Structure formats: structure tokens, C-alpha cells
Structure 1
Amino acid sequence: MTTLQTERLVLRPLEPADAPAYAQMRFHPDVSRWLPPASDEPVAAAEAAIARFAAGWRERRHAPWGLFRDGRLVGHAGLNYVPEFAETEVLWALHPDAWGQGYATEAARAALDYGFGTLGLDLIFAITLPDNLASQAVMRRLGLGYRRRVDYKGFKDIVWFDIDRDAWRSRSPRA
């Protein structure tokens, strides 16, 4: 499992002890409205997600990280393989207290660098609900382009953005 540090954030794999703080962030009403619903109570769902992320680290060398600012969990971001699409997505979700500070862009940029540079992925996508304009703005800032609409986990007409390795390298001063 890999830990990264950006200018303002520590991106580290979530641990079982992080479950209560992760549940508080992930299931905050302003956050959960954009994400698939949980099938369990929040802490149990957070524990299951953390276990799923740990499996992703073991199997693919990537999964979402917890985002920590000054030692406090402020969100998650990272890479997630989606079997339904046979591709890897970049994702993020932040507690509302952390919105509007550029953390999503900062963390997603680090995830894209890791995915294309370290893992050698060819393409990375991001999806969101059509009315989640804040996430779409992050996608555009990162250089992802709109490609199509998809259905996913009960959500209809999700917007799909993506970027390939060559396009990322041409944009990224670190590539």
C-alpha cells in the first residue's frame, strides 16, 4: 500500500480505526447525495468499504486513499477499478468543511500521476451525476474530457469524462 504527500494533504490507505471518521465524512447528507447508497448502517458500511479498498491495494496496487489535512480525515480520493466498465476511475469525496479549497483537484492530480506514472494505466475515467457541476469542474481542471453518458449502480444517465496517458503527460509538468 502506497502513501503519498501533496503540498497540503497526506493520502494514505484507510485503516479499520478510521471507520468512524470515514463514516462521518462519507455519509454526511451533503456528500452521500452524490454517491451510491449504502446497504448497511454508516460505520459498518465504512468498515466494509475500508476492507474493499484494502483488497484493491493487494490485488491492483491501487484503491482510494483517505485524505488527511493536519492529521484529520477530510475525504477520500484515489483510483478504483470498476469491473462493469473494465477500466479504472479516479474518484474523490470530501467533507463539506473541506469543499472549495482545491483539495479534490490536488488529490485527484496525485492519483492520476500515480495511475499513469507508477502503474502505467492507459486510460482513467471519472463519473458523476449530471447536476454535480463541482465535480465536473474538477474533471475539466484536470484535463479530463466529456465522452458519454452511462448507467451505474442504479444511477441513470451518469456523465463520463476520461483522459489517456499521452494526454495526461502532455498536460502534466511532472510527467
Structure 2
Amino acid sequence: MPDDPSPELRTRRLLLTAYTPADEDDFVTLFQDARVSRWMGDGPQSEAEDRALFRRIFTHVYPARRFDVWGVREGGRLVGHAEIKRTDDVDGHEIVYALHPDRWGAGLGTELAGAVVAYGFRTLGLGEVHATVDAANAASLALLERIGFRHVRDIAEENGGTTRHLTRNAD
């Protein structure tokens, strides 16, 4: 694995670091929690699929430096996941973040999303950062609005749901 596949980021309470192989079980526990996975990607996956996803971070993402992806730690405990990556879905860089439900409501999501957005602007030199959020995910929509994201458009999904596309411009 290359040195520093994703640079370390710090907030007041969180440390974002590249995953290590020892994080696999905690990663899978996070993604297997239906309260988290219902909002991620295509929704809940099998444990085997989440383990394969974790392994792809080490086989496809980090070695090629395809995009930045972090394990999110509070007090040394893995409590979340974050990434920023280029995607054609929004024709730009999108942030992705998740926290363990026992950490919801403590302001950590705001710290986490804010740190990843700041990294996009300061380190990657982006002029704007995007997020796509299920329209039913009121907590994440409110969080993004608090940190300066604005609604761009709604995307009708094949399953009948709606995804909101939000954007924040560099300050």
C-alpha cells in the first residue's frame, strides 16, 4: 500500500485516516447497520458484499490513488466513513459520509462533512463540491444546508424514490 493513500484530517473531535486492514470488522459493522446502509449507495448489501467493498479500497482505490477515502475515528474508535470522489453523476466531486448511529445528534456529522468539504476546496482546489442525498434523509439534508450547500435539482430514481443533488461553492 502506498504511503498516505488519503492524507490525515483532523477536526476538534475526529481523526480521519486511511483505513488499515484491521478496520475491516468495524467497517462491515457500520455498513451492515440498516440505519446507516439505507442511506448509502444502493442501500443495504450482504456482509460478503461489504467485505468485498472494504477489500477494494486496498486493491483498487488506494494503490491507484483513485480518490480519498477515510475511516473516521473518535477517541481511537472507528465511528464512521468519509470520501470525496469525482463522479459523472453530478459532473464534479461528491462527498460521502456516514457515522455510527450511536454518534448521531452530537454534531459530529457537521464536523465530518465540513472537514471533507474544506479538504476539497483547500487541498484539491475545487471550485464546488456536491452531495447527493435521499430526499427522505432529513437529517443529512439539514446538515448540508447548515454548512452552506444549496439544492440544485431532484433526481427521480428507478425505485420511485427521489435523490436531492446539492452543491456548495468555494468561499
TM-score bracket for the superposition, by shorter chain length: 0.7 to 0.9
Q: CA RMSD in A?
A: 2.3
Q: Secondary structure of 1:14's match? A: coil
Relative to structure 1, the CA distance from residue 94 to residue 54 in structure 2 (aligned partners, 3 Å threshold; closer, same or farther) is: farther
Q: 2:146 aligns with which of 141, 150, 162?
A: 141
Question: What do the CA deviations read for 1:18-38 (whole angstroms, capped 9, x no partner)?
Answer: 111011011101111112235
Q: Secondary structure of 1:110's match? A: helix
Relative to structure 1, the CA distance from residue 142 to residue 25 in structure 2 (aligned partners, 3 Å threshold; closer, same or farther) is: same
Tell me by how many angstroms 1:58 deviates: 5.1
TM-score by length of 1: 0.82
Q: Secondary structure of 2:72's match? A: strand
TM-score by length of 2: 0.84
List alignment gaps of at least 5 residues for structure 1: 170-175
- Whole-Å separation in 1 of the counterparts to 2:70 and 2:143: 18
- Corresponding letter in the other structure for 2:107: G
- Structure 2 residue aligned with 1:37: 43
Contact residue 65 and residue 77 of structure 1 kept, 8 A: yes
Relative to structure 1, the CA distance from residue 69 to residue 43 in structure 2 (aligned partners, 3 Å threshold; closer, same or farther) is: farther
Relative to structure 1, the CA distance from residue 132 to residue 49 in structure 2 (aligned partners, 3 Å threshold; closer, same or farther) is: same
Tell me by how many angstroms 1:49 deviates: 3.7
- Corresponding letter in the other structure for 2:73: F
- Structure 2 residue aligned with 1:105: 110
Relative to structure 1, the CA distance from residue 152 to residue 110 in structure 2 (aligned partners, 3 Å threshold; closer, same or farther) is: farther
Relative to structure 1, the CA distance from residue 140 to residue 20 in structure 2 (aligned partners, 3 Å threshold; closer, same or farther) is: same
Q: Secondary structure of 1:45's match? A: helix
Tell me by how many angstroms 1:43 deviates: 5.1
- Whole-Å separation in 1 of the counterparts to 2:157 and 2:57: 18
- Whole-Å separation in 2 of the counterparts to 1:151 and 1:50: 31
Contact residue 32 and residue 50 of structure 2 kept, 8 A: no
- Whole-Å separation in 2 of the counterparts to 1:164 and 1:21: 33
Matches within 5 A, 1:62-141: 62-141=67-146
Question: What do the CA deviations read for 1:60-80 (whole angstroms, capped 9, x no partner)?
Answer: 574231110111111112312
List alignment gaps of at least 5 residues for structure 2: none
Contact residue 78 and residue 108 of structure 1 kept, 8 A: no
- Whole-Å separation in 2 of the counterparts to 1:23 and 1:57: 18
Q: Percent identity?
A: 32
Query: How many aligned residue pairs are there?
Result: 165
Tell me by how many angstroms 1:127 deviates: 1.1
Question: What do the CA deviations read for 1:97-136 (whole angstroms, capped 9, x no partner)?
Answer: 1100111110111111110111101221111111110000
